[in-house]
Amino acid sequence: MNTHANAVHDSSLESPAAVSVVPPPQTLYWSLRREFWENRSLYIAPLAVAAVFLLGFAVSISHTLRRIRGASLLAAEKQLQAITTPYDLAAGLLMFTGILVAVFYCIDAFQGERRDRSILFWKSLPVSDTTTVLAKAVIPILLLPLLLSAVSFALQWSMFLVASAALSATGQSVSTYWAQLALPQMSFLVIYHLVVVHGIWHAPFYGWFLLVSAWARRMAFLWAILPVLAVVALERLLFNTSNIAVMLGRRLSGGAAEVMPMPGTMPIHPATTHVTFLHFLFSPGLWIGLAVTAAFLAGAVRLRRYRDPN
C-alpha cells in the first residue's frame, strides 16, 4: 500500500504537469538583472562621469558666474551659447561615455562568457538562447539610453541648482538665467537624443557587434571593425565611390533628417533644432535599420545555440 502510494507520488513529481514553467517575461527580467549584475560598468561609469563633472562645475562656479555676467553684453545667440555651454558639455560627455560602454559591452557580451566558461552554466539553465540574446540587445538599445537619460537629467538639474545658489548669493537674477537656459526643453531634447539616436537609431551597430561577439573566438573588436573598413576601401578602389561610408557615417552621426529635421552636431537647445517624432517613426531608415538589427540578432541566436562553446 505504501509502496504504491510512493510510486504514485514520484510519478506525479516527474510528470510534465508538475514541473513549474517560468513565464518568458519573468525569464527576460531575470536575464536583464543578470546583465547588470555581471556588467556593473553599465551604471557605474555614467554615475562616476556625472559625479566628477558636477564636482568640477561646482569648483569652477566663479568662472561660470563671470560667463553669465559677460553674456548680458553679447548678442542673443552669443548669450545662449555662453550660458548653455556647460550643459552641452555635460550632455556630450555622457553621450560619449554611453557609446563607449555600449560598444565594449556588446563586444564582450558572448566572447566573455566563452572565455571564462560561464556559458556552460548559463546554458544549463532553462533560459533559451533567444531570450539571452534579446536581453543582451535590450541593454544598449533601450535600457542604457534610459539610464543615461536619468543621469543626464539629474546632472543638468543639479548644475542648475548649484548655479542658482551661486547667483542668489551674489545678488544676480535667477529668473533671467532660468528663462535663457530653458532647462525643461533642453532636458527633453537630451533624453530624446539619447533614446532615439544612441539607442534605436544605432541599433544596427549594436546588433552587428553582438553578432561578431557570438562568432569570433578572440579579438572581436578587430573582427567587427576591419571587415567594414575593408568593404569601404574596396568600394573606393573599384568604383571610386563612397556610398557605404556615407551611409554608415549618416547612421553613426545621428544627423540624418529622419532623426532631427534640422540636424546638428549637438542638438541640445530648442533654439537650434526641433523634434518631429512621427516623422521619425514613419521613416524608412528606422524600419530598415530595425530589420537589419533583427537579422544580426537572429544570427547571434543561431551561433550561440549551435556552435562549440569554446
Q: Is the pLDDT of residue 125 over 80?
A: no
Q: How far apart are CA 104 and CA 206, in angstroms?
A: 10
What per-residue confidence (pLDDT) applies to 73? 56
The residue that leads in pLDDT, 137 or 110, is: 137
Task: Dump pLDDT digits (tens) for 220-272.
Answer: 889 999 999 999 999 889 888 888 888 888 888 765 555 654 444 444 555 55
CB within 8 Å of 17: residues ≥ 6 apart: none
Q: Is the pLDDT of residue 198 over 60?
A: yes
CB-neighbour burial class of residue 67 (10 A; exposed 0-12, middle 13-18, buried 19+)? middle
Q: Is the pLDDT of residue 288 over 50?
A: yes
Q: Is the pLDDT of residue 18 over 50?
A: no
What per-residue confidence (pLDDT) applies to 19? 43
The residue that leads in pLDDT, 33 or 308, is: 33
DSSP string, 71-102: HTTS-HHHHHHHHHHHHHHHHHHHHHHHHHHH
What per-residue confidence (pLDDT) applies to 277? 67
Q: Is the pLDDT of residue 101 over 70?
A: yes
Q: Is the pLDDT of residue 100 over 80?
A: yes
What per-residue confidence (pLDDT) applies to 16? 44
Confidence of residue 74 (pLDDT cuts 50, 70, 90): low
| pLDDT above 90: percentage of residues in the chain | 30
What nine digits make up the cell of 262? Answer: 534640422
Section 274-291 average pLDDT? 78
Section 99-114 average pLDDT? 88
Residue 85, CA distances (Å) to 191, 193, 194, 246 in order: 17, 17, 18, 29
Q: How far apart are CA 300 and CA 297, in angstroms?
A: 5
The residue that leads in pLDDT, 66 or 193, is: 193
Least confident of 38-42, 86-90, 180-184: 180-184
CA-wise closest residue to 119 among 131, 138, 132: 132
| pLDDT above 70: percentage of residues in the chain | 77
pTM of the model: 0.81
Confidence of residue 107 (pLDDT cuts 50, 70, 90): very high
Confidence of residue 158 (pLDDT cuts 50, 70, 90): very high
Confidence of residue 21 (pLDDT cuts 50, 70, 90): low
- Mean pLDDT of the chain, nearest integer: 80
